[in-house]
Amino acid sequence: MRDIHGEILEALRPHLGPRAEAVLEEGLKRLGKRPSELTPKDGEVLLKGLVFRELQARLRPEEARRVVEEVLLRLKEEALSPKALEEALKRFGLYLDWPEVARLRALSNRLRQEPDPRLFREAQELLEALEEKLEEALLRQAKDLAYLEESLERVRHLGGPKVRRLESLLEMVREAQAEGLLVQAEVERARKLALELRKLLESSVARSPTLPEIVFETAEETPKHPTEVLLTVEEARDLEGELVIDLGALPEEAAKRLQALEVEEERRKLEALLARYAPLLERATVSPLLSEVEALLEAGTPAGEKLLLLEKAFQEAEANLRAERRARLVQLQEALRTLPLAAEAKAPLESALALAEETLREGGLPDLLSLEGELRRLEEEARRREEEAKRLEEERQALMRELSGKGEAFLPLLRELQALPPEALPERLPELKARYAALLKAQGEEAALKAKLEEAARALEALQEEAQSLGLEGLWAEAKRALEEGNPRGLEALRKALGEARARARQTALEELARLQALAERFRGFGGESLLKAIEEEKAKPEPDPAPIARALQALKRRLEAKREELLTRLTAFFQTHARLQGFQSETARRLKPLLSVLESAKEKLPRLGPKGLLQVEGTLAQAEGLLRELEKEAEAAKAVLQELRGTDLEALLEVLEVSAPDQDLARFRLPGVEALGHLEETPPLPKEPLLRLKEALDRLDEALAQRRGPAALVFGEKALVLAPHRGKTLVALLERSALSAFLLELS
């Protein structure tokens, strides 16, 4: 078992001395734990709180932050061992189209070859992002599951192979959801099947492209409406292949319901596309088409082909983006190869570029911005060294001119300076300057020596502020003491140290900004856009400062936790209110039902959801709260009516509602819109002779087609006549065309 307490104590002793034990003891008291019970998470809490405040009292803020980050990194490295990384990769390896998974595979391959603390840290943060993404996807799958459950309840009574297939797919989705797995292919197949069956429910004018349409015409010379024998629900449910619904043949109300179903499904598909291709929304080939599809769906019009074109545009944009990054990666590699720097200086970027190339091979989209930033840093380093070499050469030439005007005592120094190769100047020129100053003093040239020292003092004073900001006050003080003793050699050492520290500070800042950028990406849609813009602006500065960005990110995290608490409060209140209305049944209650399971799942997942997941929950909860308010109003209205009714009034109302027809067996078919109902063999509601001839014609048609007939519907304008087998007899019904679908469903 890991000794987290011992690891932290060992890391803090060099900075806090004996005080480290007292600080950790105070922290353990606050946590209520013994040293052996400390976990990496507890250690993180201590380091970011009590320990960091103690370090700030003894060290400069940036040093205190660096110490804490190093200890945190050490804890995370141990927490994410290579074995743990492999296990995580197995879990997320199912989702091959996720760019983050490709990056994780590339990191895993690299870490197997050579452990790297920075890559372990990236892998840890990538796993956290993947956990959030999976929870968000599971939340969307829970919504899909609720929709499918409701759809199955609506169509289950149809029976047939399509309903059985839907039941089978739904069972697979249920099992996957319970195990925390995504089964997108099964969900898509189930939703397509559910939509088809729901459209079938809304329309009896359904026809298959594989069957010929059967049309009868009345005996009138120029009938206003042909009399059509339509494919029944019972026959349509068993058809293989996709059903084609003729919206033009439907009543306006039914056509609108079918269109609403299509729009609802397309909105769900668009939501999935936006989640899948989030980085591509602003691409020129995508943005206009996306706006067009959103406008159509907002107007309640199916997008149809436009949505398919949008999906293809997303796929092409992703392929183009991958090609662009591959080309840019080649450019970066070539620019690095030609950079006039030592191999060891270029090695870290070479390794990072190789990792990016491997990420591309694995199917991911590596972030090249940080690599471009590192290349710019190396280019600046190369320019700085070139300028430094030029400055040193100018100083040599100036010193040679001075020496050439001196006496013979200075000639050996002049010859040595002339013979010095350019690459030796950084090391030898400060030494030669110091010898020149000593020689001036020995030769009694006090005025020249004083001028030299004053010039060096002015240069040293100009560097004081920068030395303090980079933590080199000690080196600056040493150079000042040496200068006061007449030795200007420390000035050159300080200049060299400042250049190196400046480059290190910029690199550290850029690395931290890249890390903060990856975290800020998770807050897109939650205020992260402005933060991402600020990060890009900060990267472009000569001396970038990650501190304001880190503070802004912490503010976003606090806002996220506040939103989490708010949603928990609203969810609790929602379920308490719903519990009081659970027994009240209405169409609103039916619409609310599928949202309940989604919100129950969301409440359980709430602590693990990221910004996008919380926004999903908020949207679903707002929809459910609106329905709950409607349900409350309906319940109050029903309660008021019941209170107004007296006992005698209620009895009279029940008498009015009693079915007076002698045949109680037909009562369930007396739906709204049914005008006449009876059996052909008894006393039919319409003239018997024409009905008998029609039945005989249908019987002959059955014989010709060698099949058994189900219900037959004949449409006369806005009226419909139905002949259907029923308990050994022939049921005859005359009804409004808009009631035909519901009547056929009742027959089934």
Reported as a single tens digit per residue, the pLDDT across 267-310 is 888 888 888 887 788 888 888 999 999 899 888 888 888 999 99
pLDDT at 448: 64
Helix (H) or strand (E) holding 142: helix 117-155
Q: Is the pLDDT of residue 78 over 60?
A: no
Work out whether the CA dihedral 620, 626, 632, 634 comes out positive or negative: negative
Q: Summarize pLDDT for 656-686 with one digit per residue, the tens.
A: 444 334 455 677 777 777 888 888 888 777 8
Contact 401, 378 (CB under 8 A): no
3-state class (DSSP) for residue 244? strand
Give the length of the chain: 748
Q: Tokens 């929950």 identify what position?
A: 617
Instruction: Give the range with max mean pLDDT: 343-347, 628-632, 740-744.
Output: 628-632
b vs e for 171-204, b when ≥16 Cβ sit within 10 Å of the residue's Cβ? eebeebbeeeebbbebbebbbebbbbbbbbbbbb
Q: Summarize pLDDT for 478-495 with one digit per residue, the tens.
A: 777 776 666 666 676 677
pLDDT at 447: 64
Query: When comparing pLDDT for 66 and 166, which is higher?
Result: 166
Lowest mean pLDDT among 125-139, 339-353, 642-656: 642-656
What percent of the chain is modeled with pLDDT above 70?
Answer: 84
Q: Which residues contact 452 (CB under 8 A, 6 or more apart)?
A: 437, 440, 488
Per DSSP, 232 falls in state P
Distance set, CA 165 to CA 144, 153, 161, 162, 171 (Å):
17, 14, 6, 5, 10
pLDDT band at 171 (very low <50, low <70, confident <90, very high): very high
pLDDT band at 206 (very low <50, low <70, confident <90, very high): very low
Residue 736: phi and psi, rounded to 5, are -70, 145
Q: Tokens 């002339």 identify what position?
A: 418
Count of Cβ atoms closer than 10 Å to residue 595 Cβ: 22
pLDDT at 679: 85
Q: Which residues contact 660 (CB under 8 A, 6 or more apart)?
A: none
Q: What is the mean pLDDT of residues 323-351?
A: 88
Contact 229, 214 (CB under 8 A): yes
Q: What is the mean pLDDT of residues 67-90?
A: 73
Residue 408: phi and psi, rounded to 5, are -65, -25
Residue 746 has which token pair?
């009742």
In 605-697, DSSP assigns E strands to 674-679
pLDDT at 594: 83
**Nearest-angstrom CA–CA distance, 388 and 499:** 10
Residue 297 has which token pair?
């769906």
Q: Domain locations in the chain?
A: 4-125, 402-545, 556-611+620-644, 663-747
Q: Is the pLDDT of residue 371 over 80?
A: yes
Q: What is the mean pLDDT of residues 12-29?
A: 82
pLDDT at 88: 78
pLDDT at 127: 84
Q: Tokens 């270029």 identify what position?
A: 346
Contact 624, 574 (CB under 8 A): yes
pLDDT at 487: 64
Q: What pTM, to 2 d.p., does this model score?
A: 0.61
pLDDT band at 172 (very low <50, low <70, confident <90, very high): very high
**Nearest-angstrom CA–CA distance, 378 and 384:** 10
Query: When comparing pLDDT for 435 and 383, which is higher?
Result: 383
Q: Is the pLDDT of residue 151 over 80?
A: yes
Q: Summarize pLDDT for 36-54 with one digit per residue, the tens.
A: 777 777 888 888 878 888 8
pLDDT at 186: 92
pLDDT band at 212 (very low <50, low <70, confident <90, very high): very low
663-747 domain in CATH 3.30.450.30? yes
**Nearest-angstrom CA–CA distance, 197 and 156:** 10
